[in-house]
């Protein structure tokens, strides 16, 4: 690497969601900001409601720190926003506000690169791309949907959700501001191949596939230390929101059809599909072997994870799949579909990827995969070790920063000699 490629850059990170100690998008915003500040002069624009937790965490942090800028719309422009209600409209207006703020700040700061980190979805634009500064878009996802062969397996409510999702994607792909963001992006980082294809159709000329999910080394170490089982029972576990497209009903049917003696299936999470799932296990005759724990604190959920042998993650589409990484860090093999985000994380060495050719084939192969792992403890251990190694090498934030830094150099110096 030449001297030009190691230049310390003046970077602005847009992270609407950014909060320490959190997973999902808030964790992405926070960890990208911390890691990139080791190599660059980083400013982060985020919401004011993240301020107290960020400032408290920075007081305990002894590495080079990013500078944070906090912005929100006036109260009279956000009184109607409650939780997730109205978030898309609010986000549009928030971005218009930060565009004015950053344009003014750029006159004195002279940023060399803008990195849009959150929201992690391709169908909402980033107005900061309109500034005359090299722009990096992503990692962004949201481009995956339920495979056609599985759509008929969904109940009516889930089909309505999928229809609404398809409409949202269609609207996003016809939003002129999204097209403008795509055209202005020197690089688009897609979390999955499905999203990558959509970015290319939008006109992003340079697209990379790289997931947003990562784990802190302390979390990996904690999961590794607590990964020893204290009893001999064999358990499968699914962790997450109980929604139709998450595919838990499908995994329970596979578990019942596999008919594996002396095995349990634990389900951790809550959601509108819970009652349906409770009725399903009764009708399948497996109620005595399936335990519902509901929504519990994340720390407790991870303790439950290491009390099980295999994570079953049957989601029909998902950009991230954080729990897959947590299972791999805990040396637990993962069974998932060979589709969307989890398929970029799990390999044949760290779990079992189920091809998606037909509903009957997926059901059969998922059941056979459960039976195979339940009958082969040594294979579980082998896959578990490989999974932990993969997380350490590719999904710890300390390793992800090297990849992101390469992207920064490519974007900042694109077209220069």
Spatial neighbors of 230 by CB under 8 A, at least 6 apart, are: 307
Q: How confident is the model at residue 148 (pLDDT cuts 50, 70, 90)?
A: very high
Most confident of 44-48, 93-97, 296-300: 44-48
Spatial neighbors of 353 by CB under 8 A, at least 6 apart, are: 336, 337, 338, 343, 346, 347
* Average of per-residue pLDDT values in the chain: 91
| Residue 145 in domain | yes
Number of Cβ atoms within 10 Å of the Cβ of 404: 21
Verify that 319 and 197 share a domain, yes or no: no
pLDDT at 31 over 50: yes
Verify that 230 and 169 share a domain, yes or no: no
User: What pLDDT sits at residue 417?
Assistant: 45
User: What pLDDT sits at residue 295?
Assistant: 94
User: What pLDDT sits at residue 187?
Assistant: 97
User: What pLDDT sits at residue 188?
Assistant: 96
| Residue 246 in domain | yes
Verify that 403 and 389 share a domain, yes or no: no
CA proximity to 399, closest of 229, 235, 215, 274? 215
User: What pLDDT sits at residue 181?
Assistant: 95
User: What pLDDT sits at residue 22?
Assistant: 78
User: What pLDDT sits at residue 335?
Assistant: 98
User: What pLDDT sits at residue 3?
Assistant: 37
**pLDDT tens digits, residue range 342-392?**
999 999 999 999 999 999 999 999 999 999 999 999 999 999 999 999 999
CATH code for position 251: 3.40.50.2000
**pLDDT tens digits, residue range 161-219?**
899 888 988 988 999 999 999 999 999 999 999 999 999 999 999 999 998 888 888 88
Verify that 308 and 159 share a domain, yes or no: no
| Residue 44 in domain | yes
Q: Taking the CA of residue 224 as centre, how many other CA atoms within 13 Å lie in the half-sphere pointing to its CB?
A: 16
| Residue 77 in domain | yes
User: What pLDDT sits at residue 103?
Assistant: 95
Give yes or no for a contact between 37 and 9, defined as CB atoms under 8 angstroms apart.
Answer: no
In the chain, the percentage of residues whose pLDDT exceeds 70 is 94
Verify that 210 and 230 share a domain, yes or no: no
User: What pLDDT sits at residue 364?
Assistant: 97
Verify that 28 and 75 share a domain, yes or no: yes
Verify that 20 and 96 share a domain, yes or no: yes
User: What pLDDT sits at residue 83?
Assistant: 62
Verify that 15 and 102 share a domain, yes or no: yes
Number of domains in the chain: 2
Mean pLDDT of the region 87-114: 92
**pLDDT tens digits, residue range 76-99?**
776 666 665 677 788 888 999 999
User: What pLDDT sits at residue 168?
Assistant: 86
pLDDT at 134 over 50: yes
What b/e readout covers 189-210, taking b as 16+ CB neighbours within 10 angstroms?
bbbbbbbbebbeebebebbbbb
Q: Which domain holds residue 244?
A: 217-395
The pTM of this model reads 0.90
Verify that 299 and 185 share a domain, yes or no: no
| Residue 386 in domain | yes
Between 1-15, 82-96, 205-219, 316-330, the lowest mean confidence (pLDDT) is in 1-15
Verify that 324 and 380 share a domain, yes or no: yes
Higher pLDDT, 168 or 275: 275
User: What pLDDT sits at residue 130?
Assistant: 95
| Residue 129 in domain | yes
User: What pLDDT sits at residue 4?
Assistant: 43
Mean pLDDT of the region 99-124: 93
3-state secondary structure the chain: CCHHHHCCCEEEEEECCCCCCCCHHHHHHHHHHHHHCCCCEEEEEECHHHHHHHHHHHHCCCCCCCEEEECCCCHHHCCCCECCECHHHHHHHHHHHHHHHHHHHHHHHCCCEEEEEECCECCCCCHHHHCCCCEEEEEEECCCCCCHHHHCCCCHHHHHHHHHHHHHHHHHHCCHHHHHHHHHCCEEEECCHHHHHHHHHHCCCCEEECCCCCECHHHHHHHHHCCCCCCCCEEEEEECCCCHHHCHHHHHHHHHHHCCCCEEEEEECCCCCHHHHHHHHHHHCCHHHEEEEECCCHHHHHHHHHCCCEEEECCCCCCCCHHHHHHHHCCCCEEEECCCCHHHHCCCCCEEEECCCCHHHHHHHHHHHHHHHHCCHHHHHHHHHHHHHHHHHHHEHHHHHHHHHHHHHHHHCCCCC
Give yes or no for a contact between 309 and 327, defined as CB atoms under 8 angstroms apart.
Answer: no
User: What pLDDT sits at residue 306?
Assistant: 92
Verify that 178 and 93 share a domain, yes or no: yes
| Residue 230 in domain | yes
Verify that 402 and 364 share a domain, yes or no: no
Mean pLDDT of the region 241-250: 94
Give yes or no for a contact between 296 and 265, defined as CB atoms under 8 angstroms apart.
Answer: no
| Residue 417 in domain | no
Spatial neighbors of 265 by CB under 8 A, at least 6 apart, are: 235, 236, 237, 238, 251, 252, 255, 286, 289, 290, 291, 312
């Amino acid at each position: 690497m030449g001297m030009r490629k190691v230049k310390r850059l003046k970077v602005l990170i847009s992270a609407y969601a950014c909060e320490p100690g959190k997973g999902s998008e808030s964790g992405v915003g926070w960890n990208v900001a911390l890691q990139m500040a080791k190599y660059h002069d980083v400013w982060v624009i985020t919401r004011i409601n993240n301020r107290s937790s960020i400032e408290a965490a920075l007081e305990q942090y002894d590495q080079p720190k990013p500078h944070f800028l906090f912005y929100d719309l006036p109260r009279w422009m956000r009184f109607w926003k409650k939780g997730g209600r109205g978030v898309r409209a609010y986000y549009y207006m928030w971005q218009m506000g930060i565009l004015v703020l950053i344009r003014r700040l750029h006159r004195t700061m002279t940023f060399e690169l803008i990195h849009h980190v959150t929201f992690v979805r391709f169908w909402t634009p980033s107005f900061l791309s309109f500034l005359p500064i090299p722009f990096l878009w992503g990692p962004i996802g949201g481009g995956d949907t339920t495979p056609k062969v599985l759509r008929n397996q969904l109940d009516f409510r889930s089909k309505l959700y999928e229809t609404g999702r398809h409409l949202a994607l269609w609207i996003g792909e016809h939003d002129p501001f999204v097209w403008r963001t795509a055209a202005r992006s020197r690089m688009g980082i897609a979390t999955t191949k499905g999203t990558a294809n959509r970015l290319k159709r939008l006109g992003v000329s340079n697209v990379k596939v790289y997931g947003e999910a990562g784990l802190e080394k302390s979390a990996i170490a904690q999961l590794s230390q607590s990964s020893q089982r204290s009893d001999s029972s064999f358990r499968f576990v699914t962790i997450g929101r109980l929604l139709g497209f998450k595919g838990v009903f499908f995994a329970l049917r596979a578990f019942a059809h596999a008919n594996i003696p002396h095995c349990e299936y634990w389900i951790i999470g809550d959601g509108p599909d819970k009652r349906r799932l409770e009725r399903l296990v009764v009708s399948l005759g497996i109620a005595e072997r399936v335990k519902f724990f509901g929504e519990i604190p994340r720390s407790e959920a991870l303790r439950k994870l290491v009390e099980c042998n295999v994570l079953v993650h049957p989601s029909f589409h998902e950009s991230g799949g954080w729990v897959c990484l947590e299972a791999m860090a805990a040396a637990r093999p993962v069974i998932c579909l060979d589709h969307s985000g989890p398929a970029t994380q799990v390999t044949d060495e760290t779990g079992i990827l189920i091809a998606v050719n037909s509903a009957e084939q997926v059901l059969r192969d998922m059941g056979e995969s459960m039976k195979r792992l339940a009958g082969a403890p040594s294979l579980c251990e082998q896959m578990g070790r490989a999974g932990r190694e993969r997380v350490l090498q590719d999904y710890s934030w300390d390793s992800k920063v090297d990849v992101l830094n390469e992207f920064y150099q490519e974007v900042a110096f694109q077209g220069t000699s």
